[in-house]
Amino acid sequence: MGKTPLDEQIANALVNNAVNDGFLISVNDSDETAVNRSRNVTEITNAMFSANTDTLTLNVEEHRVGEVTLIYDRGGKGLDVISDHTDIPHINRLVQYTMKQFGL
């Protein structure tokens, strides 16, 4: 198993959208935190995709706002790469906007 091209495109769009919304992002691949509170899109995306799952923790300044869990190559043709996310309005809009970019 591994990421599909659509998985990667959706995950990268989510990161770009989150950074543009002002979030600091931490990346955890279930073993370790590879990036801690960054707005550097290249640093964030380079830390992703080393495992089948990434958890992106979204922060505003020092405050944790929520998480988005990405699971790659689940057979849903990208429809389910965003497996779970914190159910608050701003993160819901972020996820919906990202999925809408792909017609999903």
For the chain, strand residue ranges (E) read 24-28, 33-38, 53-60, 63-71, 82-85
- Under 8 Å between Cβ of 40 and 16: no
Mean pLDDT of the chain: 91
37: Cα separation from own chain's centroid:
13
- 21-52 residue pLDDT tens: 999 999 998 778 889 999 999 999 999 998 89
Cross-sheet strand order for the sheet of 33-38:
33-38, 24-28, 53-60, 63-71, 82-85
**Overall pTM > 0.85:** yes
